[in-house]
C-alpha cells in the first residue's frame, strides 16, 4: 500500500475512535497497522491469541490485545519525504512544576538507596511522570516524527477509547520467539553519548544483576542458553549496556512460552531485585500509577512461513516449508500518554547501593528528551 493511502486509512480509523496500533520494528522500513473493527476491549490471560498485545507493568492486571482476527491489517514500505513535512502546531510546550517533581524524586531516590544499603534490596527501579501542557496533538504526526527520529527502536502508536493514546520508541527487546527458539536481552546502565566516559562500577554491576536474574529464572524452561558479551548500544542520544540471551525452549511454543513471559515480566531492568519485594516497594512508594509504562508490547503469535531453499520458483521446495508461531515483544520504555492537551512522559532508572540521587535525576531528564524531541 502506498504511504498516502496508508496514512489516510489510519486517520479515518482514528477519527471514528476505533482501536488501532501502528508500529515499525527496529531498523525496519516496514510500517504496519492493526485496525480493530469494533470498540470492544479484548484481554489475553494465557497469550495464546494472535494480535498486538499491550501489557501493563503490574503483572496482576490484565493485558490488552488487538486481535488479528477482528482487525484489518495494513502495511507500507513507501513512507516518502513529504510524509515528514510537519506543521508547527506542537511548538509551544509549558513545563508543569518540574522543581517539585525533582524534589519528590530525589527524596524517593535517597529513601531507596538507604533501603538497599540496609540489605533489603539489591536493586530497585524507581520512575516518575512528567506532565507537559501542549497544543492539541495529531497522533499520526507524532508517530511519524518518532519513526523518523528513532528508526533503531520499536516505534508505535496505540489507541483504544477505553485505554487511551500511547506512543513510544523503545530500544529494548523483551522476548522474541520463533517456534522453540527464543531471544531476550538484559539492558541496563545509561549515559549520554557526548560524555565519552567509561562505564562506571555502578552501571556494570547493575547490568550483571539483570543478566544473572534472567538466566537463572529461565533455565528450568529451556534446553539451551547462550549469553553474549556485554556491548554498548545506542538509543537516541543515550548509550546503554546490553547482553543478548538466546536459546531453545523445552517444548513447542505453548505452556513454557506463557511461563517464560511470567518469569521475565517485570524484569529487573524495570523493577529490581528481589523482584517481588522491589515491585511491592514501587507500588507503595512511587505515588503514581505506571499503567503501561515498563510493561511489554508487540506482535503475539503471528504466523511465519520459512523454506529451506531460497529459490522460491522451485515448486518442489513447498514440501520443505514450515509455518511457525513468532512473537516479537518489547519493553515499553521511552513512552508517553496523550490526554487532551496534556502529554504524560514516563521515565525512570535503576537504583543500587552505588547510586547518587542527583545523578539518577539527571538520567531521567536525559531519558525524557526522547519524547520531548517530537513535541517541540
What's the CA gap between 4 and 371, in Å, rounded? 25
Residue with cell 556494570: 204
Cβ neighbours of residue 79 closer than 8 Å, sequence gap 6 or more: 3, 29, 31, 144, 147
Do 108 and 127 contact (CB within 8 A), yes or no?
A: no
Enumerate the β-bridge partners of residue 109: none
pLDDT surpassing 70 at residue 5: yes
| Residue 204 or 277, more confident | 277
Q: Where are the alpha helices (DSSP H) in the chain?
A: 3-15, 98-117, 139-149, 201-218, 255-264, 275-285, 357-375
Cβ neighbours of residue 129 closer than 8 Å, sequence gap 6 or more: 288, 344, 345, 346
Q: Which of 239, 213, 240 is nearest to 227 (CA)?
A: 213
What's the CA gap between 289 and 291, in Å, rounded? 5
Residue with cell 508461531: 325
What's the CA gap between 207 and 212, in Å, rounded? 9
Q: How many residues are listed for the chain in this entry? A: 376
- Range from 77-91, 112-126, 207-221, 338-352 carrying the lowest mean pLDDT: 77-91
pLDDT surpassing 70 at residue 99: yes
pLDDT surpassing 80 at residue 97: no
Q: Which of 299, 350, 290, 333 is nearest to 57 (CA)?
A: 290
- What value does the mean pLDDT take over residues 145-173? 94
pLDDT surpassing 70 at residue 253: no
Write out the three cell numbers for 123.
536493586
Enumerate the β-bridge partners of residue 303: 325
Cβ neighbours of residue 197 closer than 8 Å, sequence gap 6 or more: 191
Enumerate the β-bridge partners of residue 345: 130, 336
Do 178 and 347 contact (CB within 8 A), yes or no?
A: no
Band (190; pLDDT cuts 50, 70, 90) = confident
Distances (CA, A) of 147 to 21, 59, 79, 161, 268: 14, 29, 10, 23, 28
What's the CA gap between 283 and 306, in Å, rounded? 44
pLDDT tens-digit series, residues 273-322: 899 999 999 999 999 999 999 999 999 999 887 655 555 555 555 555 57
Enumerate the β-bridge partners of residue 23: 32, 156
Distances (CA, A) of 199 to 125, 193, 205: 19, 12, 10
Rounded to the nearest 10 degrees, the angle between the axes of helix 98-117 and helix 275-285 is 150
Q: How many Å separate Cα 95 from the centre of its chain?
A: 25
What's the CA gap between 149 and 152, in Å, rounded? 9
Highest mean pLDDT among 76-80, 93-97, 252-256, 268-272: 268-272
What's the CA gap between 173 and 341, in Å, rounded? 31
Domains of the chain: 3-83+96-302+318-375 (3.60.120.10)
Q: Which of 111, 107, 58 is nearest to 280 (CA)?
A: 58
Write out the three cell numbers for 26.
527496529
Kindly report the pTM of this predicted structure.
0.89
Q: What angle do CA 130, 56, 301 make, to 5 degrees?
A: 135
Amino acid at each position: 500500500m502506498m504511504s498516502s493511502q496508508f496514512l489516510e486509512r489510519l486517520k479515518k480509523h482514528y477519527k471514528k475512535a476505533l482501536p488501532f496500533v501502528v508500529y515499525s520494528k527496529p531498523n525496519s522500513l516496514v510500517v504496519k497497522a492493526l485496525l480493530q473493527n469494533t470498540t470492544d476491549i479484548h484481554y489475553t490471560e494465557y497469550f495464546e491469541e494472535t494480535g498486538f498485545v499491550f501489557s501493563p507493568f503490574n503483572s496482576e492486571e490484565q493485558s490488552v490485545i488487538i486481535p488479528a482476527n477482528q482487525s484489518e491489517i495494513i502495511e507500507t514500505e513507501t513512507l516518502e519525504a513529504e510524509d515528514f513535512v510537519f506543521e508547527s502546531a506542537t511548538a509551544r510546550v509549558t513545563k508543569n512544576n518540574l522543581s517539585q517533581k525533582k524534589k519528590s524524586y530525589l527524596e524517593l531516590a535517597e529513601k531507596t538507596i538507604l533501603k538497599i544499603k540496609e540489605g533489603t534490596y539489591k536493586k530497585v527501579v524507581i520512575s516518575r511522570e512528567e506532565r507537559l501542557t501542549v497544543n492539541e496533538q495529531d497522533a499520526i504526526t507524532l508517530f511519524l516524527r518518532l519513526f523518523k527520529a528513532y528508526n533503531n527502536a520499536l516505534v508505535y502508536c496505540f489507541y483504544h477509547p477505553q485505554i487511551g493514546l500511547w506512543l513510544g520508541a523503545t530500544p529494548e527487546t523483551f522476548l522474541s520467539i520463533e517456534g522453540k527458539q527464543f531471544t531476550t536481552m538484559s539492558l541496563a546502565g545509561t549515559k549520554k553519548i557526548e560524555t565519552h566516559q567509561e562505564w562506571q562500577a555502578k552501571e556494570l554491576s547493575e547490568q550483571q544483576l539483570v543478566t544473572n536474574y534472567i538466566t537463572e529464572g529461565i533455565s528450568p524452561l529451556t534446553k539451551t542458553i547462550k549469553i553474549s558479551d556485554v556491548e554498548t548500544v545506542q538509543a537516541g542520544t543515550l548509550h546503554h549496556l546490553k547482553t543478548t540471551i538466546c536459546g531453545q525452549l523445552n517444548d513447542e511454543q505453548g505452556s513454557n512460552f506463557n511461563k517464560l513471559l511470567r518469569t521475565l515480566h517485570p524484569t529487573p531492568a524495570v523493577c529490581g531485585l528481589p523482584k517481588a519485594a522491589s515491585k511491592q516497594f514501587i507500588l507503595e512508594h512511587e505515588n503514581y500509577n505506571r499503567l503501561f509504562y515498563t510493561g511489554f508490547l508487540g506482535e503475539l503469535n503471528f504466523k511465519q512461513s520459512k523454506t529451506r531453499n531460497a529459490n522460491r520458483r522451485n515448486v518442489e521446495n513447498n514440501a520443505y516449508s514450515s509455518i511457525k508461531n513468532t512473537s516479537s515483544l518489547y519493553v515499553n520504555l521511552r513512552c508517553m500518554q496523550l490526554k487532551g492537551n496534556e502529554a504524560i512522559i514516563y521515565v525512570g532508572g535503576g537504583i543500587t547501593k552505588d547510586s547518587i540521587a542527583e545523578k539518577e535525576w539527571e538520567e531521567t531528564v536525559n531519558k525524557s528528551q526522547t519524547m520531548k524531541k517530537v513535541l517541540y
